[in-house]
Structure 1
Amino acid sequence: MSKNRILHHPVLGYLQDRSEITFTFNKQLVVAYEGETIAAALLANGIRTLRYHEETGSPRGIYCNIGHCFECRVSIDGENGVRSCLTLVKEGCHVTGGEPLPTPLKKKVTGNE
């Protein structure tokens, strides 16, 4: 059990009442609990950097945690650009981050311009 988890929440109840599940993040085994988002599980396991900025390379992690900012984008089972703060953990899923993801802000230079 991670020391970063809230074990009892006045509204959500006791964490021990939920099933423990596992998934991988960048090939590292991570323990989560049923009903937890990927972002919450990663944070509870001490993982703060989820990806790197596409243009500057600066580390990115959880920012708003309500799905507005897109800073927590990861790849889940091969699907790129998924917001980890809105996505519930599934047993055995493979999450990857840290690699630059496609961005609509970059303009491709083709040489025909």
Structure 2
Amino acid sequence: MTTPTSRCAPQFVRLAETGRAPVSFILDGTPTQALAGDTLLTAILLQQRHVRHSEFSDAPRAGFCLIGACQDCWVRGEDGTRMRACSTRIEAGMRIVTQGQCTLHTANPEDAQ
């Protein structure tokens, strides 16, 4: 596991968790894990500072309303599928692409296969 720099520290930190299975997925080409039941937004922000950059101003975005109304949390699957990160649950094997620049390398590559 690498230690993030302060610039790339994740937005969220999981404080305590028991009883949920790990779910392996790929985030911007990097194998990583979340927990069963996490939304994409939670899974991504546990790994990096923001979800994407605004297509209008290049400002970093990390979700806003958290209920799917503002459309601030769109991410894409590697196949081009658009997903609202705040309302889509993580699934094993998902391959998510963001515009984030600070993806953390936290999982063993074999975990996401």
Taking structure 2 as the reference length, what is the TM-score of the superposition? 0.69
Alpha-carbon distance in structure 1 between the residues aligned to 2:76 and 2:21: 24
Q: Kindly provide the CA deviation profile for residues 34-71 of structure 1, in whole angstroms up to 9, marking residues without a partner as x.
A: 111011112223x1222111122221122121111111
State the number of aligned residues.
90
Structure 1 unaligned spans of 5+: 8-14, 100-113
What is aligned with 1:33? 35
Q: Could you list the runs of 4 or more consecutive aligned residues of structure 1 that deviate by over 3 angstroms after TM superposition?
A: none
2:84 corresponds to 1:75: no
Identity between Structure 1 and Structure 2 (%): 26
- The yes-or-no answer on 1:66 pairing with 2:67 is yes
CA RMSD of aligned residues (A): 2.2
1:22: which partner in 2?
Answer: 24
Answer 1 or 2: higher relative contact order, Cα 8 Å, separation at least 6.
2
How far apart in 1 are the matches of 2:86 and 2:15? 17
- Stretches of structure 2 lacking an aligned partner (at least 5 in a row): 1-9, 101-113
Shift of the alpha carbon at 1:73?
0.5
